[in-house]
Amino acid sequence: MKKVITSILMCTALVMNAQHMGNFNSKVADMDISRANIATSMGNGAAYGNQYAQQYVNLQPSNVLQIKLRSLYNVDATDYTAVFNIVQVGKTAEETTKLMNDKIEIVKQDLKSKGFQGQFSLDMISFVPQYEIEVTKKLFSKTYTEVPVGFELQQNLLISYKKDSDFQKILTACGKAEVYNLVKVDYYVKNLEAIYEDLQNKLLAEVAKKKAYYEKLGFKMEDYNVMMADKKYYHTPKDFYKSYLAAENISMESLKNQKNVTSVRKPTSYYYDPIPYNGYDIVVNAAITKPVIQLGMDLSLQYNLKPIEIKPEPKPAPVKTPDPKVYVVSPNGPIDIKQIPNN
């Protein structure tokens, strides 16, 4: 009985550990992304991906002072634009355009019936005839001629909205109209200048703290010349989606029926992995519960000692030469002393 209880406890512990770890397994992670609203494989995520903490490195003192600051601002999007690609074919140009317009009208009417307040716009991609080879038989020869047999019309339907809940309505309406190709979702934020200005003010406050710290260490900041470099960046959620394969890869039904273990297809899963906060001095709105736009500003300042000014040695004061004296002896004997000025 003790052995049975021990086995149950061990299995329970293994299950609990697995639940904490989740299904992500870095050894089988697949970084090739194929998702409608992901523009590139990992996008800029590779530059900002999670990295392990670096080992301690001995610090090298220097007479050059440096202030390097990084700031990050997480902000919810205020506007969205979903882009759907629609391809329609027909026997004639009129039929093709009518079928295309009918699909788009179904989407619009379904959304308007649900109180949707967004905007619609169309982006014409192509409108080309489709050809087939027609064989004409003659008495002594055959001719092959391209003849139009239909038309293909391709357009992008752009739907702008402001609420996350509207996206589900859009997907439902597009499904009814047999519009399934979601190209991407663009994220926008209003008052972008105000957000960057807020980050600038926070960076200036941090610089003031750093300079006060150096002053307390005995450095006089007025004795230094400063050089600077800065940059800002803007990342939308589609830049930071990653994919992985689930760890489960066998059929449990085969185990129940005591058959050979059968491998099954592993579905590729995706998750949002935003810029990590390690290495950042300022993070605004750190607690996020959904994909957000991440704005950042980096600032680097370098302070170099001003060259020591060498003052010239003072010139010695000129030595004043006394005025010469002239002795005049009269024939009678008295001596008259007179001084002749140099100038």
Instruction: Tell me how crowded residue 51 is: count the other CB atoms within 10 A of its CB.
Output: 9
Burial of 41 (0-12, 13-18, 19+ CB in 10 A): middle
pLDDT band at 252 (very low <50, low <70, confident <90, very high): low
Looking at residue 85, its pLDDT comes to 94
Question: pTM for the full model?
Answer: 0.63
Tell me if 77 sits within 8 A of 189, measured CB to CB: yes
Of 326 and 92, more confident? 92
State the average pLDDT for the chain.
77
Q: Where are the alpha helices (DSSP H) in the chain?
A: 2-21, 45-48, 93-113, 164-176, 192-216, 252-256
N- to C-terminal Cα distance for the chain? 129
Spell out the residues 6+ positions from residue 211 whose beta carbon is closer than 8 angstroms to its own. Answer: 67, 221
- Find the mean pLDDT for residues 304-323: 80
- Take residue 251 and report the two structure tokens written for it: 């059929």
Looking at residue 14, its pLDDT comes to 40
pLDDT band at 2 (very low <50, low <70, confident <90, very high): very low
pLDDT band at 172 (very low <50, low <70, confident <90, very high): very high
Instruction: Tell me how crowded residue 272 is: count the other CB atoms within 10 A of its CB.
Output: 14
Q: What is the rounded CA–CA span in Å between residue 147 and residue 1? A: 83
Convert the pLDDT of each residue in 269-285 to its tens digit.
888 899 999 999 999 99
Looking at residue 87, its pLDDT comes to 92
Q: What is the rounded CA–CA span in Å between residue 70 and residue 8? A: 50
pLDDT at 46 over 50: no
Of 60 and 189, more confident? 189
Looking at residue 28, its pLDDT comes to 43
- Take residue 87 and report the two structure tokens written for it: 């391809």
Buried b / exposed e over 202-214, threshold 16 CB at 10 Å, is bbeebeeebbeee
Taking CA 140 as the corner, what is the angle to CA 139 and CA 141, rounded to the nearest 5 degrees? 105
pLDDT band at 151 (very low <50, low <70, confident <90, very high): confident
The number of residues in the chain equals 343
Spell out the residues 6+ positions from residue 273 whose beta carbon is closer than 8 angstroms to its own. Answer: 45, 49, 50, 240, 241, 242
| Helix, strand, coil percentages in the chain from 3-state DSSP, rounded to 5 | 30, 35, 35
Of 301 and 257, more confident? 301
Taking CA 235 as the corner, what is the angle to CA 232 and CA 238, rounded to the nearest 5 degrees? 170
pLDDT at 291 over 60: yes
Looking at residue 22, its pLDDT comes to 40
